[in-house]
Structure 1
Amino acid sequence: MDTKAVVTRYYELANAGSWDAWCDLFAADQVMDEQLAGHVEGREKLRAMMAGFPGMYASFRNQPKELIVENDRAAVVSHISAVTPGGGRIEADVMNYFRVVDGAITYMANFHDTQPFRAALQTTA
């Protein structure tokens, strides 16, 4: 898959809740700088982290609004709408940066306001 196809698939799988297949989009030695989870290295560490993700949200959507691709790099502006099992609501605009090599995400970083997540996730504790 080319960069645009990989990044498009990233959002399709996330919105379908197919987290194992979503993790398969990443290279084995991937590096992620995630706003809430921090620095994550390795696909299997990411897979273990994502195993708990479905329990954090009763619903989760990350809708791309704008996608810019240049060779092996992509930037996506998106909007997350989520609800926690305790009813906490999350609405947040997000900026994701991707590097894709040989059809796999080798690096990803996301940037967003963490407050909507912290407030909503605290209502589940």
Structure 2
Amino acid sequence: MARAETIALLTRYYAAFNAGDWQGMLDCLADDVAHDVNQGERVIGKDKFAAFLGHMERCYKEELKDIVLMATDDGSRAAAEFVVHGAYLATDEGLPEADGQTYVLPAGAFIAVDGGKITRLTMYYNLADWTAQVVG
């Protein structure tokens, strides 16, 4: 997969995220996708990623802005940098109480692609920055 095809795949993936189109996001993933959750463990499988999306939808409302996509020439590796504009809707286990707090948080992802599908998503954001914003 060449760089342009990987960028097109990621463009679809992040457009689906911003549209709240979870099925559109899942369509971009390999069945055995590895998801490295920020501050968490690696989770394997599209079904577990779908459960993660359901959890995120319950606790957060987010939109990604200023998205920058990068990919290797062969398209096998990529990265995305963006700014998350969000609202904390429901208390997430182990985190501060939610009360609709808003936040603006730089974030990124390292991505592996094979066969036209995302095979790994490694997420990063600064949890201390997010916590400071929602605790206020």
TM-score (norm 1): 0.84
Q: State the superposition RMSD in angstroms.
A: 2.2
113-122 or 63-72: bigger deviation: 113-122
Q: Which of the two has higher C-alpha Rg?
A: 2
Q: Secondary structure at the match of 1:52?
A: helix
64-73 or 39-48: bigger deviation: 64-73
Deviations 1:53-107 (A, max 9, x none): 22112x3111243221112211111110101222211211112111111111001
1:6 maps to 9
1:100 maps to 113
**Moved beyond 6 Å, runs of 4+:** 120-123
Counterpart pick for 1:65 among 51, 67, 77? 67
Q: CA deviation at 1:117?
A: 3.9
How many residue pairs get aligned? The number is: 122
Is the Cα–Cα contact under 8 Å of residues 33 and 118 in structure 2 kept in the other structure?
yes
TM alignment of 1:3-82, pairs within 5 A: 3-57=6-60, 59-70=61-72, 71=74, 72-82=76-86
Unaligned runs of 5+ in 2: 90-98
Which letter does structure 2 place at the counterpart of 1:27? A
62-71 or 24-33: bigger deviation: 62-71
Q: CA separation in 1, counterparts of 2:134 and 2:86?
A: 11
Is the Cα–Cα contact under 8 Å of residues 13 and 24 in structure 2 kept in the other structure?
no
Q: CA deviation at 1:22?
A: 0.9
TM-score (norm 2): 0.78
